[in-house]
Amino acid sequence: MSRATPHAPPAAPTPSPSAARSGLLSLPGLPSLPVPWAALAGYAATRVLGLLALTLTAAATGKDGWHRLSGRWDAVWYTRIAEHGYGYQVTLPDGGVHADLAFFPLFPALERALSTVSPLDAATAGLLLSWAASLAAAWGIYAVGAHVAGPRTGVVLVVLWGAYPTAFVQSMAYTETLFTALAAWALYAVLRDRRLLAGALCVLAGLTRPTAAALIAAIGIAALATTVRERRPRAPVVLGALLAPLGWFAYIVYVGVRQGSATAYFDVQAGWGNSIDGGVALARFITGLPWPAALGLCAALALLAWLVVLCVRQRQPLPLLVYTIAVVVISLIGAAYFGSRPRLMMPAFGLLLPPAAALARLRTRTAVPVLAALALASAVYGAFTLLGSGPP
């Protein structure tokens, strides 16, 4: 296995003058970017297919598919926070406590803001926010993929992310799309050496999900590598790295002050069964399965490990590689409900870059049916999972 070494990523293609006149959007702190219509259309098609599968399956089973998107599991907690603020908790029959302080504040704050200025209720506002964020995430993923491996790979990468096995969550009032959008654009900002912008986006990501720790690590390690390579600290690089953890840290401090304990946030997470145990719970879960299921799960984990190896062999840029590996590790070392782990890994879109590059090398008439089959399988799986009893 070859080792990944820090190196300057290839320069992004310069848009043509004609493209500059029609189809570019200028983002603060970044060069003008062509709107990747093919990538966004392909991504939207995967999600429309998922919603269609959900609608048909719900009609056939007599269930309410729309309610599954905006009114169950974590979405209910976000809506409650948006409507009433923090302070709600549930005591379980075994004495355990589920407190709403486990949920980071940016998404419910946006739900509240949108429902305040529009006729939408908080639940519907959350759904629209998630859908809008999914398009922003798709564009950001394309930007990273195109920068690293070319526009064609960027398009395929976006479609693969939309056809991820648990991609149905991208259509729910959950935080995965908002977090992935912020993470993708923060990583792209690092790749384009816009470190202050990357740090600012990471602040927002840190107010969205605890997984922002992976993004903080990526920005920090990239800053250290840049400083060592250039043999001098640059103010934007250092300030961006110092800015990055402020959102995450601010919420941890807020919970600590509110609860009167420095470890309060982690105690709240432990009440949900989400404490860090180094993978002990995962090992126990595997050994408690019937042997065919255990072998299948071990094969899935081996595939995950192989994808990480391929990311290293592909020589992905250091910040993307650190972020991807950190998201995977964080998702596996917690004691959380096992069924949620694929969802927790979904923001690690870098895992899909090696298969995206392989598919991009195929002829279009070969790649399109493969992507369509993956999208259909994801849509069917998502429909039956959403209409089931357990949370994603």
Check pLDDT > 70 for residue 314: yes
DSSP string, 214-227: HHHHHHHHHHHHHH
Could you tell me which of 189, 220, 209 has the C-alpha nearest to residue 28?
Answer: 189
Q: What are phi and psi of 289, to 5 degrees?
A: -85, 155
Is there a contact between 353 and 149 (Cβ–Cβ < 8 Å)? yes
Task: Name the residue with higher pLDDT: 285 or 306.
Answer: 306
Question: 194 versus 336: which is more confidently predicted?
Answer: 194
**Is the pLDDT reported for residue 7 higher than 70?**
no
pLDDT at 72: 84
Share of the chain above pLDDT 90, in %: 75
**Residue 32 pLDDT:** 62
pLDDT for 2 beyond 80: no
Highest mean pLDDT out of 18-27, 88-97, 164-173: 164-173
Helix spans in the chain (H): 17-21, 37-61, 65-70, 74-84, 106-117, 122-149, 151-162, 176-191, 195-206, 212-230, 235-243, 246-259, 264-271, 280-287, 291-313, 318-332, 341-345, 353-360, 364-386
The stretch 53-59 carries a mean pLDDT of: 94
Q: How far is CA 50 from CA 164, 165, 302, 383, in A?
A: 11, 11, 28, 7
Alpha-carbon distance of 72 to 39, in angstroms, equals 30
Q: Which two tokens stand for residue 42?
A: 């392909």
Question: What pLDDT score does 45 carry?
Answer: 97
Q: What is the mean pLDDT of residues 75-100?
A: 92
What pLDDT is stored for residue 17 in this prediction? 36
Helix, strand or coil, per DSSP, at residue 335 = coil
Q: pLDDT of 212-242, one tens digit each?
A: 999 999 999 999 999 999 999 999 999 999 9
Whether the CB-CB separation of 276 and 335 falls below 8 Å is answered with: yes
User: pLDDT band at 68, cuts 50/70/90?
Assistant: confident
Residue 30: its pLDDT value, please? 63
Give residue 339's pLDDT.
73
Between residues 139 and 4, which one has the greater pLDDT? 139
Q: Which residue has the higher pLDDT, 161 or 337?
A: 161
For the stretch 147-201, pLDDT in tens is: 999 999 999 999 999 999 999 999 999 999 999 999 999 999 999 999 999 999 9
- Mean pLDDT computed over 336-360: 91
Residues 315-332 pLDDT 10s:
999 999 999 999 999 999
Tally of residues, the chain: 392
Question: Is pLDDT of 109 > 50?
Answer: yes
What pLDDT was estimated at residue 106? 98
Q: What is the mean pLDDT of the chain?
A: 89
